[in-house]
Structure formats: C-alpha cells, structure tokens
Amino acid sequence: MSIRKHRLPALLAAALLAARALGAAPLADEFDARIAAGLALLYQGQYDAALDSFRSFDADHPANPAGRFFSAGALQLRGLAYESDSWDRAFLADLDSALALSERVIARDPADPWAFFFRGGAYAYLASREARRGRMLAALNKGLSGVSDLKRAVQLDPGLYDAYLGLGSYHYFRTKAASIFKWLPFIGDRRDQGIAELRLAAERGRYSGVMARHALTWVLVDYGKLDLALDEARGLEREFPANHAFHWAGADIHYRRGQWAAAAESYRRLAGLNQESRPMNNHNRVFIAARLARCLHRMGSFAEAAAAAREAISLPLTEDAAKRLRQERVMAEQVLRRVRPTAGMGP
C-alpha cells in the first residue's frame, strides 16, 4: 500500500529526529568565538591573522564547512584588495572543501540550515569569480545553484539573516542580467527587493553584516542612489579606517558627481592606505594616480595633475593589468597633453 502524501512531512520529521539522535549535531552547535574574531581581523585588513583564526577553527572541527568557507571569503577579499590572483588556487581549494563538507552534512541531516548556507555561499563565491572574468553565463549558472540553497536555508531557519547577503545580491543583479540574456524569463525589476534583503543581512546577519554593508554600498552606487551610497561608504570608512578595501566607494561617488576636490582628497587618502598595505603590484597605484590626475586637472592644479598623470603612465604593469587599465592610462595621457603647456613643461 502506498504512503499517503499527507503522512510524508511527519515521516520526514521523524527521520530527521532519528538522524540527530544518532549524533548528527547541527553545525551551529560548533560555532565559537574564533569565527567572529577572524572576521574582525579580516575587516581591519589583517589577512594572515584572520586566516589563522579560521584555520584554527577548521583544525578543531574538520567536518564543519565553516572554517573553509570563511577562509575562502578572506582569500577572496584579500585578492580583490590587492588586485592579485596569487591566492586563487588556495581560494578554490577552500571552496571545494566547503562544498564537499556541506554536501556530507546535507546528506546526513537535510534539515541543517547552515549546511545549505555554506553550500549556497560557496556557489555564490564561484559565481562572483566567473563574473569578474567576464564569463557571465557561467556566473548565472553558479548563481542559480547558490540562490536555491540560500532560499532553502531561510526556509529551514527564517532567522538565518546571513543568507540575505547572497539573496539580495542575486535579486539585484538578476534584474540587470535579464537585459544581457534576452532568453531569461521575465521576472520584473527586483532591484528594490535586493536592496531590502541586503539591508536585512547588514542589520541582522550573524556573520555577514559588514560584507552586506559593503555590497549594499556598491549596489546603491550602481543604482544611482549616491546619497544613500555615500552614507554607507562613510560609515565603513569610520569603522575601518586602516583598510583601503572600504575606502574606494566614497572616492568613486565624489568622482562620479564631479566633486573634484572631495574626490582628490579621497584618492590621496586611498593612495596612502594602499601603500601602507604593501601592494604586490601597481594596479591600484595606476588607477588612483589616473583618477587623481583628472581631478587635479579639473581643479586647475596643473603641475600636480601632470605629476599624477606621469605616475599613472610610467608605473610598470602586468599584461593583464595593462589591458584592464587601458582606459585609465589613456585618460592620464590626455591630462598630460593638456597640462604640459600650462605647467610650463615644454611641448
């Protein structure tokens, strides 16, 4: 005789209780202060110390994906801050481990919301990586896998607000993707929903608050809500004054608005913070110098503009960085051509 549909939920719940009775404790029972401590160090730009904290947790809880997941997040933020792929192999290895460990937990206990969060978050990291490399279809596929898991995490635990970082990012950029991939089913404009979800993660997330604020800042910039974006950017700058990763958005907002003096001040501060971080390459230096050159030229500070433009043009770059920064170097060359006679530097 077949099992009636109305009995399935009760049978599933009984099976889950039996699994936990056999020792399948929820992942969250193992979380300890090392995760929050590692995140605090990470946001201050102390990457090695943050990784030590996450790896210490992983050593004590090797079956828990949290250590590998947060290590991957630290490596991603470090790579973005330094504009370097030096940690890409370690980043992918940590993500592979986080995915494998999450899947083992889900197989053992399909009611553990954090297992779905870590698996969905890992897919979201992979989607972000694909998008940065211009592989938008691959990014969309990874994103769809991630959002499915994150939705499941919230269904299992409506209080797991960390999941809304990934969900909010997805709902915002899914609207933009629909304009690129015409074959996507129409879902309407869900950018405001995405922003609301990012705010929820920022305000109530257990571990994702700071990164949700950071993501929200750039989403608001993209949306053209520059006043709100600047409020978020200034809050992050005050909270993390030594980490240049949180100082780019404010400079960009002033630059977009043509507020040349404020933008120049922000880029000068960024240049100092970037140098203090002991950069591995000249990518950030060239970008900052090019932007600063344009700001100074618009302000009428021609000699200073010429010096910044020469720096942007002369600093050596890798072939890949030179391609990505071609527009900035062209802009620096234009500034230099315009200011030479005025600055008295000859033809």
Query: SS3 for 2-64, per residue?
Result: CCCHHHHHHHHHHHHHHHHHCCCCCHHHHCCHHHHHHHHHHHCCCHHHHHHHHHHHHHHCCCC
Q: What is the pLDDT of residue 9?
A: 47
Question: Which helix or strand (DSSP H or E) is residue 292 part of?
Answer: helix 283-299
Q: What is the pLDDT of residue 137?
A: 78
Confidence of residue 135 (pLDDT cuts 50, 70, 90): confident
Complete domains list, the chain, with CATH:
26-124 (1.25.40), 247-341 (1.25.40)
Q: Is the pLDDT of residue 69 over 50?
A: yes
- % residues pLDDT > 70 (the chain): 88
Average pLDDT of the chain to the nearest whole number: 90
Q: Would you say how long the chain is, in residues?
A: 347
Q: Is the pLDDT of residue 14 over 70?
A: no
- Number of Cβ atoms within 10 Å of the Cβ of 344: 10
Our CA angle for 194, 198, 201, nearest 5°, is: 140
Q: pLDDT tens-digit profile of 327-343? A: 999 999 999 999 876 55
Q: Which two tokens stand for residue 23?
A: 């020792």
Q: What is the pLDDT of residue 190?
A: 87
Cβ density class 205-243: b for 16+ within 10 Å, e for less? bebbbbbbbbbbbbbbbebeebebbbebbeebbeebeeb
Model confidence, pTM: 0.88
Q: What is the pLDDT of residue 213?
A: 98
Average pLDDT, integer, range 271-291: 96
Q: Is the pLDDT of residue 132 over 90?
A: no
Q: What is the pLDDT of residue 178?
A: 63
Q: pLDDT tens-digit profile of 194-227? A: 999 999 999 999 999 999 999 999 999 999 999 9
Count of alpha carbons within 13 angstroms of residue 84, beta-carbon side: 13
Average pLDDT, integer, range 110-135: 93
Gap between the Cα atoms of 101 and 57, Å rounded: 14
